[in-house]
Amino acid sequence: MDLENCFYNLEGVHLNERKNNFNKLLQLTTPEFLQHNLHSIKPRNFLEQIFYVDFLIRARHTDKFFEILKNGNGIFVSKILKQKWFFQDVIGNFSEEWIVNEFLPSLSYPVKMKVLKKLALTLKENQLDQIFDYLLEKYGLSVAKVILFGCSFQKITDTFRNNELILTVEQLKRLLERDPNLVKNYLDEYQKNTKTKFNNNNFLKYIVWKHPNLYFEFKPFFNTNITLGRQTTKRILEIDQEKALEDLNKNIRLNIPIVTRKIKNFDTNILSKFFPAKKEKIGSYPDYIDVNLYLKSYPYKLRWNVLVKAFERTYNDKILNNIDHLEYFESIFPKDVSQQFAKKQYEKTRNINYIYKYDFVEAFSIVKERINLTSNIAVRIDILKYLVIMCYSNKDYEAYEQVLQYIALRHRNDNLLEIMIIIKERIDYDLSTEQFWKTLNNLIDFYRIKYSNDINISHFPQYLVFCIKKNLPVENALAQYIKDAAKDIDWSLNNFRDPEIKASIIALLIAEPIECNMSLFKTIVKFNVENRNYWINLNKSPVIVDFIKNTLTRKQFDINDIIVLKYLLQYNYTQSLPENFLKAYEDQELLDAIKRVYTEKPNDANRLNDELFKAIKKPRNTDFQIWLLDYYFKEYFSKCSPQFSKEPVLNYFTKHEPDILRQYFKEILDVETCGPYINYSTIKLYSHLNLDKELVAHVKPLISVTPQFLMKLSQLVSTEEYLLLISSYIPKQFKLEDMSDEEKKFYEIQRMAIKGLNNLEDSFKLIPLVSVFCQGDYLQLSIPLLYRVLYRINEEQVLKVIKELGNKAVSLRKQTIHLGFKLLPQDLAVNHFKKLSSKEMNVSLKKFYLTGIFKYYLQNPSDHLMNQVLQSLVFIDKGDDESLNMLVTYMEKVPVKQRRIFAESIWKSLTTIEEQQVNVQSYQNKLLNVLNSFDNEFFEQLSTDILKTIVDKHFLSDDNQSHAVYTFITKFLASQDSLNHFDIVFTKIKNSKNHTDIFQFFNCALMTCFSNSTSAFVKKLQTYWQQVFNVHQSFSEHLLLEFLCCYKRTSNITEFCKEIHEKLQEIHVEFGSFILKLLSESLCEFLDKLKNVHQDWNLSEIAYELLRINVTELNCFIVYEIMIRWPDQDEEEKLFKNKILELLKSIDSGTVSIFYNKLLRI
C-alpha cells in the first residue's frame, strides 16, 4: 500500500465523506506497518493533522503522545486522553516521583488536570496513594484532591479526617460508585467540621436515582429535599415503604399517584395524617393543600369516597354533618351531596351562584321567581347567565333548550349580548340536537338583525361544525357562515380548534366563490404547515389558483403581494412532493416575480429570506429550485437584508453542502458584508477545496477597512501565518495620546490583532508577545492574552513569564500573584509572593497580596501557608476596610484545627489598628459574632490573653455595649472551667458602676446557659454573681439563677416543678406575701426563656404539676400568670387547663375559688 498517496488523495467533498474514507484507510493498516511508514506523512492542513494523530494512536507511537500532551492542542489532546492503555501501560510504568516532578510540570494547567483525572481512573491504588502524597507536597490539597477518588480506602478516609475537604458532586459520584462507605465517611466528617448537614440537592437526587437502596442510609446526613419521578418512587417504596412514608413531604417528595396506587389502604391509613387537627380547618388555606394533592391522584369518580373514608376515620364523625367546612372540595361532591351543599349555601347567602348545582326544575323555578322580583335588566341577565352555565355544566340539553325557549319568549328584547357570548362558548356538538339548534338559530337570527355590527352575535359558526360532525347538509350553514364572516373569514377560522373540522371547513370554503385575499391565503398555508396530516390541496380551489395567478401578474407589487409570495413558497417547499405544488403559474413567472420584488420593493424583500432559503436547501426536486439556487447566490445574496440573515445560509452550506459553497464561493466573497458571517473554523477543515486559501487571499486586503477580519483570520490560519500577518501592527509606542484619525484606525487594527491572538493554538510561540503587549495603554486589552498563554504553557515557561512581568506595572504584579498561585507549585508560588511582597510599597497591592495568600491558604491549608498569612497581616492598613471585612467574613472557612491561631492573630491586628486611633469596633463585633457561632471545642483552645484583652478594653466600656462581647465572654467562661477566668470577668463587674450593661450581660449569659453550659458552670456563675450583688440588689437575677440551677439538676417536668416549689416556698417564707407577684413574674420570665430552648416542655403541664404538689396562694398566682401569658394553643394545652380547673374546683377555699373563676374567663 502506498500510504503517502492514499493519505494525500482521500476522496470526498464533505468532511464526513473524507472522515469515512480515512477510517477505511486506517482499518487497512496495522500498527507495525504504520511504525515503518509514518515518517513519510507530513500533514499539510488542519484536517490532515487530526488524521495524523489517529495514525499515531493506531501505531502506538507513544513518544509523539508526550509531545502532543506538552503542546496542549485541545483537539489532539482529547484524542490521547481517550487511550486508557497509554496511561495504564506507559505512564503507569514510570515512577510516581517522575510523574509528579517531571511529567506533570511539562504540561499546561488544563492538560495537567485532565491527565490527573485520567490517571485516577487507570492506575492502581498504591500508585495513586504515592502520587497523592507527592501532589500534596508539591501543589497542595486543591490539586491533590483531583485524584483522591482513585486512592486506597485508607488514604481517602485519612485525608477526610485530616483535612476539611469540600468535594464536587462529580467527585462524590465517583466515590459512591466505588464504595458508598467512602461517601458516608466524607459526609460524617463534613458534618463534624461544618456543624451542618450536607445540602447538595443534585447529589441526593443522584443517589435516589442511581442507588435508591442507599437513600435511607444516607438520609441522616442530608438537609435538603427532592422530588422523585414515577419509576424512582416505585423503587423507593419497594425498598422500604415504611421509611419512605415517614419522610413523606419532608426530605423526599414521592410521586403522589404512585404512592396512592402502590400503598395498600392509603386512603384510610395514611391520608388522614395530612388532615388538620381541627376538622373546621380542613377547608381553609393552607390545610386543604396536602389533602387535595393526594385526592387528585385518584380517579375522579373515587375521590369523594376516599375523602369520606379518611375524614370519618380521622374525626370519628359523619362527613355530611360537616359539609359546610368542605367548600374547597365541592368539585368532587356527588350530585345529591352537591345539591344538599348548594341548598344550604343558597339559604345562608342567597347567592345565585349556587343554583347551578340544583335540580333543573327547582333551579328554573328559583330563577323565574328572582327575575320576577327585579326590574334591573343587569341583574336579570346575571341570573339567566347562571342558568345557562348550569345546563351546560350538567350536560342537560333538554333543559338547555327550555332555557333558550324561555329567553326567546320572555327576554328577547333585553340586551343579552353577554348571554349570547356565554352560549356561544358553551356548546357540546356531540350532545346538542337538531331541535336545540333550531331553537338557538331562531334566537341568533333575531340578534343578527338587532346587533348586526357585533361580531360576537352576528358570527356564530358553531352550527356549521354541528352539521359537519353529524353529517347533515351543510349548504345553508356554510352560506350563513360565509355571509357572517364576510371579509373576516381568515379571522373566523381561528375559532376552530379541531384540525379535522377546520380542514373540512377550509375545503368547503375554498370550493365556493368567495373573495380570497392575502390574509386568508396566509391562514390556509399556516394551517397546512402546522397540520400536515390534514393537508389541503389548493390546486382543487379555482378561487386560490386565480388569486395566485392575479398576484404574480400584477403590474405593481405591494406589501401584501410579497407576503403572498412568501406563503406560496412556504406552501410548496414545506412538503417535498412536487406533485402537490400549487400549479397556478409557470416556474419562470414565479422566478420573475421574486426578481421584481428586489427591484420594486427592496426594503420589503427581506420578508422572503427564510422561504427562499428553505426552497434552495436539499432536497432540490425541481428545476425551479435549481434555477432559484443559481439566482440566489448570483444576484439575490448581494441584495438581501438584514445582513445577519446571510449567516444561517452560509452555515448551512458550509456544514451540509460544501460543494455548493465551493461552486458559488467567488460570488459569496464578492459580497462585502458576508465576510463576518462565514464560519471560519469550519472552512479550516475544507482545505481540500482550497476554500481556506481563497478566503485568506480575499480577506487580507480588507483588514485596513474592516479590522474585525483579523479576529476571523485567527480562527483559520496557522500561528506562524497570523504572527506574520500582524507583525506590522505590533506597537512600538505604548502611550496613546492625541491620536490622529489615522492613528485611531491603526489602533483599532492593533486591538483586533491582540484579540485574535487568543484564538491561536500554539501558545509557546506567543510568549515573546506577552511582555510586548502587556504594557502601557495596551495592558488592559492584553490581560486575556496573558491568561490564555500562561494557562497553555508548562510550569517552567510560566515561571519565566511571571518573573519577567513581576517587575512591571502594579496591575501586572497583581496578575502574576494570582497566576502564580494558580499555575505554579506551592514553593515557587510562595517564593514569588514573598519576593514581591517583601519590597512592595503600593498600599493597594499589599491589600491584594494579603487577599491572595489568604484565599490560596484556604484552598491548600497547611501550617506553612498559615504562617505566611499571619506574617502578611502586617499589610493591613489602618484604612483598609476591604481586607478587614474579608478576613472576618472568611474566618469560618479556616480549618477547625487552625481557627484559634487565626482568630487571636486577627484580633491582635485589629487591636494594633485600634491603637492608631482607628475605630474598628464594627469589625471586632463582626469577628466576635463569627467566633460565637463556633462550638465549645474552639473556645476551649483560646488563650487567657484574648479574654483579658476583651474584658479590659471592651467589656462594660462606654464605647462598646455589644451583645457579641457578652456572648463571647459567657461562652469562654462556660467552655474553660477556670476560676481565674471568672476572677478576670467579675473583677471588672465589681469595679464597674455601669449597672445597666452589667444586667444586659447577665441576660445574655443566662440565655447562653440554657443551651450551652453545665450545672457546674451555672453554679459558679451564681456564686460569683452573689459575691458582687446581694439578693436585695438583684432579686430577679438571684431568682433566675436559682431556677436555672434547678433546671440543670433535673431531667423532667415533675422533678423540675418539685425543686422549684421548694425553692419558692423558702423565699416566700423569708420575704412574705408581699413578693408573691414578683416571684410569679420571675418564674414566668424564666419559663419564657426556657420555652425558646425546650419547646417540647408544656407550660400548662408545669402549672398543673405545681398545683398538684400543693395548691398554695403562690402557686395559684403562678398558674394564673402562665395562663394569662400563654393561652391554650392546642389540644394538649386544653387538656392540662381542664385538669387545672378540675383541681381548683375541688378545693374548698375562697382564695382558690377566686382564681378558679378568673381562669374560666381566659
Mean pLDDT of 958-984: 88
Distances (CA, A) of 6 to 684, 688, 899: 21, 14, 68
Residue 252: strand pairing partners: 226, 248
User: What pLDDT is recorded for position 305?
Assistant: 92
Interval 213-271: pLDDT, tens: 888 888 888 877 778 888 888 888 888 888 887 766 555 678 888 888 888 888 877 88
Check if the beta carbon of residue 619 is closer than 8 Å to that of residue 576.
yes
Interval 1075-1115: pLDDT, tens: 888 898 889 889 888 887 777 778 888 888 999 999 888 88
Q: Are strands 226-227 and 252-253 parallel, antiparallel or unpaired?
A: parallel
Mean pLDDT of 1060-1072: 90
> Residue 87 carries which DSSP code?
I
User: What pLDDT is recorded for position 824?
Assistant: 97
User: What pLDDT is recorded for position 113?
Assistant: 97
User: What pLDDT is recorded for position 429?
Assistant: 86
> Domain extents for the chain?
964-1160
Mean pLDDT of 509-514: 88
Q: Does 453 score more than 70 pLDDT?
A: no
User: What pLDDT is recorded for position 273?
Assistant: 79
Interval 480-493: pLDDT, tens: 888 877 667 777 88
Gap between the Cα atoms of 85 and 758, Å rounded: 33
How does residue 640 score in pLDDT terms, banded at 50, 70 and 90? Answer: confident
User: What pLDDT is recorded for position 149?
Assistant: 94
Mean pLDDT of 1124-1133: 71
Interval 1023-1043: pLDDT, tens: 999 999 999 999 999 999 999
- Exposed, middle or buried: residue 1155 (CB in 10 Å: 0-12, 13-18, 19+)? buried
How does residue 374 score in pLDDT terms, banded at 50, 70 and 90? Answer: confident
* Beta strand extents in 216-330 (DSSP E only): 226-227, 252-253
- Say how many CA atoms lie within 13 Å of 378 toward its Cβ: 0
Higher pLDDT, 1144 or 829: 829
Q: What mean pLDDT value characterizes the chain?
A: 89
Grid cell at residue 912:
494594633
Q: Does 961 score more than 80 pLDDT?
A: no
Backbone angles phi, psi at 1094, to 5 degrees: -110, 70
Tracing cell 509572593 back to the chain, one arrives at 833
Distances (CA, A) of 985 to 536, 822, 939, 1066, 1113: 94, 47, 16, 31, 40
Residue 957: strand pairing partners: 960
pLDDT above 90 as % of the chain: 52
Closest to 65 measured CA to CA, from 102, 103, 27, 36: 103
Gap between the Cα atoms of 593 and 905, Å rounded: 84
Gap between the Cα atoms of 838 and 846, Å rounded: 10
- Exposed, middle or buried: residue 395 (CB in 10 Å: 0-12, 13-18, 19+)? exposed
Evaluate the omega torsion of the peptide bond into residue 825 and state whether it is cis, within 30 degrees of 0: no
User: What pLDDT is recorded for position 566?
Assistant: 95
User: What pLDDT is recorded for position 960?
Assistant: 63
Check if the beta carbon of residue 999 is closer than 8 Å to that of residue 1037.
yes
- Say how many CA atoms lie within 13 Å of 628 toward its Cβ: 25
User: What pLDDT is recorded for position 209?
Assistant: 87
Closest to 196 measured CA to CA, from 971, 1096, 1011, 935: 935
Interval 932-958: pLDDT, tens: 999 888 999 999 999 999 999 999 887
Interval 299-335: pLDDT, tens: 999 999 999 998 998 889 999 988 888 888 888 999 8
How does residue 766 score in pLDDT terms, banded at 50, 70 and 90? Answer: very high
Ranking 146-150, 457-461, 887-891 by mean pLDDT, the lowest is 457-461
Distances (CA, A) of 478 to 451, 484, 489: 21, 10, 12
Check if the beta carbon of residue 123 is closer than 8 Å to that of residue 88.
yes
Separation of CA 296 from chain center: 28
Closest to 88 measured CA to CA, from 57, 133, 119, 116: 119
How does residue 454 score in pLDDT terms, banded at 50, 70 and 90? Answer: low
Q: Which residues contact 327 (CB under 8 A, 6 or more apart)?
A: 283, 341, 345
pLDDT above 70 as % of the chain: 97
Query: With helix as H, strand as E and coil as C, how does 564-631 read?
Result: HHHHHHHHHHCCCCHHHCCCCCCHHHHHHHHHHHHHHCCCCHHHHHHHHHHHHCCCCCCHHHHHHHHH
**Hey, is 521 helix, strand or coil?**
helix
Higher pLDDT, 1131 or 564: 564
Tracing cell 391554650 back to the chain, one arrives at 1128
Closest to 616 measured CA to CA, from 572, 582, 585: 572
Gap between the Cα atoms of 395 and 427, Å rounded: 9
User: What pLDDT is recorded for position 1010?
Assistant: 80
How does residue 119 score in pLDDT terms, banded at 50, 70 and 90? Answer: very high
Q: Does 415 score more than 90 pLDDT?
A: no
Backbone angles phi, psi at 847, to 5 degrees: -60, -40
Q: Does 281 score more than 80 pLDDT?
A: no
Q: Does 644 score more than 70 pLDDT?
A: no
User: What pLDDT is recorded for position 176?
Assistant: 94
User: What pLDDT is recorded for position 34?
Assistant: 93
Grid cell at residue 883:
481586607
Q: Does 816 score more than 90 pLDDT?
A: yes
Q: Which residues contact 686 (CB under 8 A, 6 or more apart)?
A: 15, 47, 654, 658, 692
How does residue 394 score in pLDDT terms, banded at 50, 70 and 90? Answer: confident
Grid cell at residue 64:
509523539
Q: Does 354 score more than 90 pLDDT?
A: no
Q: Does 905 score more than 70 pLDDT?
A: yes
Mean pLDDT of 602-620: 89
Q: Does 900 score more than 60 pLDDT?
A: yes
Interval 153-179: pLDDT, tens: 999 999 999 999 999 999 999 999 999
Interval 767-806: pLDDT, tens: 999 989 999 999 999 999 999 999 999 999 999 999 999 8
> How many residues make up the chain in this entry?
1162
Gap between the Cα atoms of 456 and 222, Å rounded: 59
Closest to 871 measured CA to CA, from 857, 881, 889, 882: 857
Determine how many CB atoms are found less than 10 A away from the CB of residue 418: 14
Evaluate the omega torsion of the peptide bond into residue 707 and state whether it is cis, within 30 degrees of 0: no
- Say how many CA atoms lie within 13 Å of 986 toward its Cβ: 19
Assign 3-state DSSP to the chain and report helix, strand, coil percentages, each to 5.
75, 0, 25
Mean pLDDT comparison of 88-102, 190-204, 478-492, 953-967, highest-scoring range: 88-102
User: What pLDDT is recorded for position 521?
Assistant: 92
Ranking 74-78, 453-457, 1036-1040 by mean pLDDT, the lowest is 453-457
Distances (CA, A) of 533 to 493, 511, 529: 18, 20, 10
Mean pLDDT of 679-705: 93
User: What pLDDT is recorded for position 452?
Assistant: 65
Interval 540-559: pLDDT, tens: 899 999 999 999 999 899 99
